[in-house]
Structure 1
Amino acid sequence: MTAIRVLLADDEHLIRGALAALLALEDDLAVVAEAASGPEALSMARAHRPDVAVLDLQMPGGDGVSVAEALRRELPGCATMIVTGHGRAGHLKRALAAGVRGFLPKTVSAQRLAEVIRTVHGGHRYIDPELAADAISAGDSPLTAREAELLEMAEDGAPINEIAARAGLAAGTVRNYLSSAAAKLGAENRHTAARMARERGWL
């Protein structure tokens, strides 16, 4: 029996090392590569051509969903899974749109993770029921792509003029977009709106 070749990508070395050690105990799984960032995950996948890539949602240099999108184009034979410490509704929808086959919290046991790796390798899908329920209850983002983009720029407290310069827009236009976004979210200002949108996975 040929073992399922697994890539583990997580920027937390302790978690990644522990997972690799636990998965190594499974006879039918082989961790062939590890990565600590989005770009490293892609280069390791190209070099080792794993059957399944287990990707942390948030990594330096590119999140798990963007890595999954790239892998779907470059290595269509590699199934992708996302593990996350904070599964927001918007993240799950983005992941499914990117062709991700597994989506589960970091709180799962190594045994459960191994089962899900086998499931996605077999061509099936596994979404954690609680994360799926949260996604359904949160609904779709009311923000336009431009509103979300400008809210993300406003997240770190940047002034309107700076956001306008970065976006190539007039300050008044930026103010209008941000006011519209805040109104849609029922937020008193752009900073609160950005935080709320981030919490719901819409940024």
Structure 2
Amino acid sequence: MHQTDKQSLKAVILEDERMFAEMLSMLLRNISDVNVCEVAHSVAAGISACATHKPDLLLLDLFLPDGSGLRVAQHLLREINPDAQVIVLSGEADNFIAPQWLDPHLGAIVDKASAYNTLLNPIRQMMGKIQPYSLTQNPRDLFTRREMQIFMLIGEGLRNQDIAERMERSVSTILTHRRNITRKMGMSGSRLVRAATQYRVNFT
């Protein structure tokens, strides 16, 4: 078997929609130093793929024919590679709340409908190939619809509790989306607030 350069990012894709999985595979192969080791379509196949390849990155669908893709992520992180990163693929990305054990390893939550436009940035960030965010970049190219709503409210100066009340969501849900915004932009705290405020001034 061909040996991958030790500095390359080994990736496993876990997705039961085969055409979508192939699109993801082609997309990742366009990134230099990313090696797509295997595409799996079930929990059982995903666990086997992770055991074989010991990936640095797992892209997973939440809903698979034989269970939740989170089972594969949990097995990977606890039994195989505790430093791996996970990107969650979902048709309902706005409603996903990461379990506590996954949160430190969560690279991004990507809506399947916009995966082509939003997937490359977090992977390149993991590899240190790009600056996380530039104020010349439109956040709409990075965020899901719900994340964009929260980003705009951050720009209004609202706190998490205020945003939760405005959107009629729990604070924990807002925090999950805010962490995803932070990961995608590579900034938090006052820097994130300034970026959100500047966006409101420059783009709205």
TM-score between the two structures when normalised by the length of structure 2: 0.56
> Please, which runs of 5 or more residues in structure 1 have no aligned partner?
142-203
**Correspondence 1:55 to 2:86:** no
| 1:14, distance to aligned residue in structure 2 (A) | 0.5
- Cα deviation, 1:96-127, whole Å, max 9, x if unaligned, reads 542333211112343531221233466xx9x9
Mapped to 2, the partners of 1:129 and 1:25 lie a distance apart of 23
> Are the structure 2 counterparts of residues 77 and 121 from structure 1 closer, same or farther at C-alpha, using a change threshold of 3 Å?
farther
Question: Alignment partner for residue 117 of structure 1, among 123, 137, 143?
Answer: 123
Mapped to 1, the partners of 2:171 and 2:44 lie a distance apart of 29
> Please, which runs of 5 or more residues in structure 2 have no aligned partner?
133-141, 151-162, 173-204
Question: Alignment partner for residue 98 of structure 1, among 90, 99, 102?
Answer: 102
- Cα deviation, 1:17-57, whole Å, max 9, x if unaligned, reads 11111221222211111100122111101101111000011
Report matched runs for 1:116-155 at 5 Å.
116-120=122-126, 128=143, 130-132=145-147, 137=167, 138-139=169-170
Corresponding residue number in structure 1 for 2:179? none
Q: Structure 2: which amino acid aligns with 1:7?
A: V
Higher mean C-alpha displacement, 110-119 vs 28-37: 110-119
Report matched runs for 1:60-75 at 5 Å.
60-74=65-79, 75=81
> Are the structure 2 counterparts of residues 81 and 109 from structure 1 closer, same or farther at C-alpha, using a change threshold of 3 Å?
closer
Aligned-pair identity in percent equals 24
Mapped to 1, the partners of 2:29 and 2:117 lie a distance apart of 11
| 1:12, distance to aligned residue in structure 2 (A) | 0.3
Structure possessing the higher radius of gyration over alpha carbons: 1
Between the two proteins, the alignment pairs up a number of residues equal to 137
Corresponding residue number in structure 2 for 1:86? 92
> CA RMSD for the aligned pairs?
3.0
Determine if contact 2:60/2:88 at 8 Å carries over to the other structure. Answer: yes
> Are the structure 2 counterparts of residues 3 and 93 from structure 1 closer, same or farther at C-alpha, using a change threshold of 3 Å?
closer
User: Secondary structure of the equivalent of 2:119?
Assistant: helix
